[in-house]
Amino acid sequence: MDADYNPLRHIPDMQVRHMILQVLAWMWCIIFGLMVGSFTVWGISVVIHIALIVGIVVTVATFETAKRSPKSFEFIKGYHSFGRSRGSIWVDGKRITLPKGDPGGEHE
């Protein structure tokens, strides 16, 4: 699935788009894995069909939200990982104090 052609293309942040696609792919792998393993048991099959329907609803809802309100996927500004919130990091056994207000993040 290519985020340049599906409704997730409306989300401006490429990293958030990638994360959403990864979560949806993971969900569908689990759903189809459960479906293949439950052909012989009717009760489990009913549960799996419900999971399939829920998966479709979650996917459509995610795509519609991305199309109609892409700003919904803009998470907290200034977010940084918990390790950086302490004001320092450890590199090669040495403590490095971070500048005040450093947002952190390895992709910046």
For residue range 31-74, list pLDDT tens digits in order. Answer: 887 777 655 566 677 788 889 999 999 999 999 998 998 887 77
Packing angle between helix 14-36 and helix 42-68, nearest 10 degrees? Answer: 160
Sequence ranges of the domains in the chain:
7-73
Q: Work out the average pLDDT over 16-40.
A: 79
**CA neighbor of 107 nearest in space, from 36, 6, 13, 9:** 13
pTM above 0.75, yes or no: no
| CA pseudo-torsion sign 39, 42, 44, 48 | positive
Instruction: Assess whether pLDDT exceeds 80 at residue 18.
Output: yes
